[in-house]
Chains A and B, each alone.
Chain A
Amino acid sequence: MAKAQRANRMWRNMNAKIAAVPMILTTLVVFVGGTAWTVLYSFTDSKLLPRERWVGFDQYERLWSNSRWLTSIENLMVYGVLSLIFTISIGFLLAVAMDQKIRFEDSFRTIMLYPFALSFIVTGLVWQWILNPEFGIQSIVRGLGWESFTFNPLNNPDLVLYGLLIAGLWQGTGFVMCLMLAGLRGIDEDIWKAARVDGIPTWKTYLLIILPMMRPVFITTLVIVAAGIIKLYDLVVAQTSGGPGTASQVPAMYVYDYMFQAQNLGQGFAASSMMLLSVLIVLIPWAYLEFGGKKHG
């Protein structure tokens, strides 16, 4: 392609370059420039407006000694690990079930995936209602005669993350199931035939042959789900507003509150830079495996 245009490349490619201006501006100004700007200004004591008074790592020290931030990080870790384990294992389990030449596959898929079309706000509000202690699951089980039954996660600081998890899994597992099912369907039929000829039971084939072969699908899913978890915000706002107390605070909420409510931009910048760092910790090893490995073979 390049050869055909080499003659007077500058002139001929002009339209393509003009057409690429929005992309170039977005990548350079917003993605690279914006990110660098935020990281840079996290070293200032900006309050209501950004200002260039450099204070070194002060904002970060303040951040890591703020109990609300520490709670946010802890919550994110607990929620993140549980959410990853459950979305991926449930997603895989459902995909395997769907892959057994079942009837009504399309109906089951439609049912599993529709929550993914809904916003986190809708998800959070519905589950807030179902988990409502006065009317929801708790009151119904009590109404059945089990008077001492307690299931009130949204008002219990120790359980609130599980309340969020139930809603998060409801919204996201269908999506993971679809990715996994696509992975399963992409596996060569000959492998199944070979396993059958060798008399390996189906469950063993899944565990010992298919699972290792699906590694790329698992890694991609892991990265997508993990990147989504770090951004977790809307669901918490809708379902618990970060409460009870600060029990379900998450980093994205901390950032928003400091940037747009508390008028302490420096703190917000430092917190968001930490969020960026955590994404990089997930992303860089993945990118290295995914793209670095390709060049060698």
Chain B
Amino acid sequence: MSEPILKINKVSKHFGGNIAVSDVTFAVEKNRIFGLIGPNGAGKTTLFNCMTGFVPITSGEVIFNNRKINNLRPDAVCRIGMVRTWQRVKPLSSLSVLDNVMVGAFAITGSAGAARKIAVEKLAQVGLADYSAKLAGSLSIGLKKKLELARVLATRPEMLLLDEICGGLNHTETASILQLIRDVREEGTTILFIEHDMKAVTSICERIVVLNSGVKLAEGTPAEITSNPEVIAAYLGGGFDA
């Protein structure tokens, strides 16, 4: 078992009396593809928001590379190497596709020339090279998701938090994104992956945590998760055949 890069230690998030995340604990090992699943409202995105400094944690700690990062601002979280994508894509709409990725690349360089070079490279990697000059707002949803991916990759993250990167995509698009994610992992990036698409999750993740109503329900390999009766009852509704 290799060293965990990320530890979530008894993290809770309350919005007033509403408990969105309750006492969740898990650890992600370096260079893994780790899945975070659960039905709507399970608290997955809230947990991402807590980890990346977008909402303050009520209690518990988030430890990244042996450093407690509870109180860091989102931009600081990015600069220490943990970068997220958004479930609802957030393209910089009136900028070109290339400029969008350059904004990401500026996290690791101050020079526009170097940023452009990184951006061109990352656009080629996700297959958006032909769209460089297009306005980001004009892309289809599938391409916007790829743009999100290129943009976070340009920051050279140590760890990627992907929030439903396959949501709303067709089979071909999903397959190509999943292949991209595998490639990124090969380059040494750790991936934490929120997904609804069970097939996608079980095909790509080595370990999975299941959240339900803000509570951790189970953790294990895809095979363990898909055969866990509690998970099937809560999330899969009993009708899932893997």
Q: A and B: partners?
A: no
User: Which residues in A have some Cβ–Cβ distance to B below 8 Å?
Assistant: none
